[in-house]
Amino acid sequence: MGYKSVFSPTLFEGKTIIVTGGGSGIGRCNAHEIASLGGHVVLVGRKLDKLQSVAAEIEEDGGSASYHTCDIRDEEAVKQTVADIVKDHPHIYGLVNNAGGQFPSPLAAINKKGWDAVINTNLTGGFLMAREVFTQSMNRHGGSIVNIVADMWGGMPGMGHSGAARAGMVNFTQTAAFEWANCNVRVNAVAPGWIRSSGMDTYDSGMQAVLKTLSDAVPLKRMGNEAEVSGAICFLLSEAAAFISGTTVRIDGAASQGNPAIFPLIDHKNSKPYDGFHREVIPEMFKDEDAE
């Protein structure tokens, strides 16, 4: 069994694509899909063991992958990491700016250290990676950049630091798309809503209890999965999206639309998830529900 992508198995044949935060979650899933479509995936992250594990999975499935450890918040480290990648793969076809992280907290309880950490990870780090990939490769060869943001258009109460960073990344996406178009570099973003990912297991019991109720607020009446995000990323990376740049695709089951107070959501079980990722890791909190 391999990745069940809807795209041609040769879509990314001969192409090098960097995926930051590729050691887990959406990044891991996306790396697997890219590799299943013939691409060489360069995994970038802070934890060597996770990168090695995902690279081994990809190679076991017949794909091609390499990895580099890097803290994307460190400008010099990013410069050197991209230089090392370009040395082996001069033509970088794609960059998936997936690395990120945050912690739940009301604004009044966030200190400057916590604020800076989330902004640096979710905004500054993505900018540094995109700038270096552009200046060291894509400004000569063209390419596609996809930034992973979040559904923050109604604000992000309880995660205001992350919402601010993601809003900044959406604006960066629009600006970079305009400035870099003359080099045939396209820059887009995807905004996942509530996606079942293994990272949810890191939250405390109180937050996990909230997460279990989120599907009730989604018009499609379920949470999304990693493959449903990865498919959108692969489309934006591909030549089929050659005239799409500066846009953000929301992957949220219409949760960001409408107002349930005016038009109540109808309960149903008509939406079926896309079962694409053969190595999907279900968060522990949802395993009992899936067994029912």
Distance (Å, whole) CA 183 – CA 201? 41
> Does CATH number 3.40.50.720 belong to domain 16-291?
yes
pLDDT of residue 291 exceeding 70: no
pLDDT digits (tens, 9 = 90+) for 215-256: 999 999 999 999 999 999 999 999 999 999 999 999 999 999
The domain ranges of the chain are 16-291
pLDDT of residue 35 exceeding 70: yes
pLDDT for 286 equals: 84
pLDDT of residue 151 exceeding 60: yes
Measured in whole angstroms, how far is the alpha carbon of residue 85 from the centre of its chain?
A: 20
pLDDT for 133 equals: 98
Instruction: Please calculate the CA angle 64-135-115 and round it to the nearest 5 degrees.
Output: 85
pTM score of the predicted model: 0.95
pLDDT for 231 equals: 98
Q: 155: burial class by Cβ within 10 Å (0-12, 13-18, 19+)?
A: exposed
**Locate tokens 């990745």: which residue?**
3
Instruction: Please calculate the CA angle 219-221-226 and round it to the nearest 5 degrees.
Output: 105
pLDDT of residue 213 exceeding 80: yes
Distance (Å, whole) CA 137 – CA 285? 42
